[in-house]
Amino acid sequence: MRRDQAPNLVLASLLALSLVSCQAAERAPEASEAAVSHETPAPEAQIPPPERDVTEAEVPQAVLAAFNQAYPGAHVKGYSEEVSEGNLYYEVSFEFQGRQLDVIFDPDGITNTIEEQIPVDALPEKMRQTIEQEFAEFSYERAETVQKGSERYFEALVVDAKNGMMHEMVFSPGGDLIERQAKKPGEID
């Protein structure tokens, strides 16, 4: 066979394989339908856990490189992998220059969200008043600022002393309540 005939032979082989596959599928539609499972997969197969701890070795190199460049000398407390709105992200929890931070990266090392713990008294007054009006008796679990793209907001996690439920409350920079979610202690991230 001449060298210039090789591409034609490969193309002809691929075309023949495609034709045979199509003919087989036409002859036995019930076989191809049987191969498709109509059973509902187990719940754990349908919905990945929203967040799971991972080791440094499981974190993409692009994420580690971006993190180390942005926060040289940071003391890492842990890594996690999370799925949010169908997208995979990696979170690094760490201490840097006396600050407690969680930074969320996409797999390519692009920063998605920066969360920084802050003292409760650093929350806007309007926010603290809203929390006091919502709960007769409560305690603060944590407060933080969140920067996601150009959006900045505050989050407070409070514990209702009456029933022990935790409430994650999201506020605008001006202290207006945007969202409130009741959570059980095991659901807190």
Q: What 3-state class would DSSP assign to 7?
A: helix
Q: Among 15-29, 47-61, 92-106, 160-174, name the one with the lowest average pLDDT.
A: 15-29
Q: Do 53 and 110 have their domain in common? A: yes
Answer whether 172's CB lies under 8 Å from 147's CB.
no
Answer whether 40's CB lies under 8 Å from 85's CB.
no
Domain of 158: which CATH number? Answer: 3.30.505
Beta-bridged to residue 147, according to DSSP, are: 114, 152
Q: What 3-state class would DSSP assign to 24?
A: helix
103-128 tens-digit pLDDT: 999 999 999 999 999 999 899 899 99
Containing domain of residue 151, as a range? 120-187
Q: Pick the last residue of a domain from 68, 85, 117.
A: 117
Residue 24 phi/psi, 5° resolution? -65, -40
**Radius of gyration, alpha carbons of the chain:** 26
Mean pLDDT of the chain: 80
- 129 versus 27: which is more confidently predicted? 129
**pTM of the full structure:** 0.69
121 vs 99: CA distance, rounded Å: 16
50 vs 63: CA distance, rounded Å: 19
Q: Do 125 and 183 have their domain in common? A: yes
Q: Answer whether residue 39 shows pLDDT above 70.
A: no
Q: Pick the last residue of a domain from 98, 117, 136.
A: 117
